[in-house]
């Protein structure tokens, strides 16, 4: 309400930053932020409502694939999302690259859609956890952002306000993630799972890799296209595997299956029989989107120019720095530098190779999509430092590092 001066709130943040918070204190802070604003009541939706949250990454289009797959299995997915600020757009921006798709649903429309077709994705209302917004802006200017309790309570206050019964968290680790090392990622995941379960919501977290982009496409319309291919059964291996890992746990929490293995089988089935893709079309149509662009992805926004980045020598890809690739996509116009920035829905990057793939001199490693020669040249020049080639194949892929549930941390 503005009753507490900013300097007192700043002192509180500094005390939390240096002295840390215990489990109860973190839960109480989350609860206070949650109760400072609107909480969505989804009790009029039939069944166990599930939601998924990712801590963000590059090429992370998981929601676009996961939501229709889980909904096609008969489990209600009621997802409130925010906009992206950074390398590429968030889930809402990606969906808005589809002509006429509307993220502005009334509460009644949102609930009706989930009851009718089992899925809706909408923008968060402005009054969700306003105390978090105020504290976050203070954290930014008082150098108190990097504290696990403050990060966890900020994420979970918004997630819990969205009203779902069960939540699966995808906590990213690596160069393109907020958490750069494994111990910090597990610590954040545990804190968030403890908060969720402390608030009587079934919560599980998975720790997944973001050292290279997820899938091959980075950029809004390009990621929609890749999501559609995945729903048709032709998607990248890592995107499908992550979706199956997250989705099988959602089905478990939603009591649709008794084991994770059965959940994976159910999800694979809705891809194989076409139900997942049909559900995606139904979801897009219900929220006003142009179905023709889904049936023929060539009709999605396309860049005027495509420039290929080619290998300078033979060898194996040893590094594709996800954060730097994200910055290149941002230069091309695929993301926002500020809240007011306008996104170029057609811009982005499509990789032809991933980490540890063999590559020959002159072979295309990535294609840059853009509408501005100067920006394309700047991005191409940066790619030289981002993608590294070594003579020998030096590594082994690992997509998932473990999970956290109410019983604690389970590393793989």
Q: Determine which one of 49, 139, 355, 375 is catalytic.
A: 139
> Of 153, 154, 162, 227, which is the active-site residue?
154
For the chain, give the secondary structure using H, E and C: CCCCCHHHHHHHHHHHHHHCCCHHHHHHHHHHHHCCCCCCCCCCCCCCCEEEEECCCCCCCHHHHHHHHHHHCCCCEEEEECCCCCCCCCHHHHHCCCCCCCCCCCHHHHHHHHHHHCEEEEECCCCCCHHHHHHHHHHHHCCCCCCHHHHHHHHHHHHHHCCCCEEEEEEEECCCCCECCHHHHHHHHHHHHHHHHHCCCEEEEEEEECCCCCCCEECHHHHHHHHHHHHCCCCCHHHHHHHHHHHHHHHHHCCCCCCHHHHHHHHHHHHHCCHHHHHHHHHHHHCCCCHHHHHCHHHCCCCCEEEEEECCCCEEEEEECHHHHHHHHHHHCCCCCCCCCCCCCCCEEEECCCCCCEECCCCEEEEEEECCHHHHHHHHHHHHHHEEEECCCCCCCCCEEEEEECCEEEEC
Q: Is 158 a catalytic residue?
A: yes
Please confirm, yes or no, whether 264 is among the known catalytic residues: no
List of E strands, 33-186: 50-54, 77-81, 119-123, 166-173
With a CB cutoff of 8 Å and minimum separation 6, the contacts of 2 are: none
Q: Spot the catalytic one: 49, 53, 249, 279.
A: 53
Cα 86–chain centre separation: 12
Among the listed residues 49, 158, 249, 256, the single catalytic one is 158
Is 405 catalytic? The answer is no
Selected catalytic residue, list 51, 60, 93, 132:
132
Annotated catalytic residues are 53, 132, 139, 154, 158
């Amino acid at each position: 309400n503005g009753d507490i001066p900013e300097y007192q709130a700043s002192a509180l943040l500094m005390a939390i930053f240096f002295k840390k918070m215990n489990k109860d204190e973190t839960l109480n802070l989350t609860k206070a932020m949650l109760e400072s604003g609107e909480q969505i009541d989804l009790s009029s939706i039939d069944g166990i409502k599930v939601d998924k949250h990712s801590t963000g990454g590059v090429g992370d289009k998981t929601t676009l694939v996961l939501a229709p797959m889980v909904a096609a299995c008969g489990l209600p997915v009621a997802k409130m999302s925010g906009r992206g600020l950074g390398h590429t757009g968030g889930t809402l921006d990606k969906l808005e690259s589809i002509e006429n798709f509307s993220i502005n649903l009334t509460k009644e429309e949102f609930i009706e859609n989930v009851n009718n077709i089992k899925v809706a994705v909408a923008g968060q209302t402005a009054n969700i956890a306003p105390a978090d917004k105020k504290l976050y802006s203070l954290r930014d200017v008082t150098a108190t952002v990097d504290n696990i309790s403050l990060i966890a309570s900020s994420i979970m206050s918004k997630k819990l306000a969205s009203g779902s019964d069960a939540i699966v968290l995808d906590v990213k680790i690596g160069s393109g993630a907020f958490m750069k090392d494994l111990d910090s990622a597990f610590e954040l995941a545990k804190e968030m799972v403890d908060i969720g379960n402390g608030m009587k919501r079934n919560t599980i977290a998975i720790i997944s890799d973001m050292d290279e982009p997820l899938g091959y496409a980075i950029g809004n319309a390009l990621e929609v296209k890749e999501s559609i291919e995945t729903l048709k059964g032709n998607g990248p291996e890592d995107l499908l595997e992550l979706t199956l890992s997250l989705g099988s746990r959602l089905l478990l929490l939603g009591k649709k299956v008794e084991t994770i293995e059965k959940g994976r089988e159910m999800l694979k089935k809705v891809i194989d029989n076409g139900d997942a893709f049909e559900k995606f079309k139904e979801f897009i149509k219900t929220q006003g989107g142009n179905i023709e662009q889904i049936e023929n992805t060539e009709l999605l926004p396309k860049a005027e120019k495509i420039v290929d980045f080619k290998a300078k020598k033979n060898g194996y890809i040893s590094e594709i720095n996800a954060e730097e690739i994200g910055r290149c996509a941002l230069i091309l116009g695929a993301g926002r530098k500020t809240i007011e920035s306008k996104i170029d829905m057609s811009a982005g990057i499509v990789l032809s190779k991933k980490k540890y793939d063999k590559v020959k001199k002159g072979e295309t490693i990535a294609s840059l999509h853009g509408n501005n020669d100067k920006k394309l040249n700047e991005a191409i020049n940066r790619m030289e430092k981002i993608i590294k080639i070594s003579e020998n194949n030096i590594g082994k892929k690992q997509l998932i590092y473990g999970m956290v549930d109410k019983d604690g941390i389970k590393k793989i």
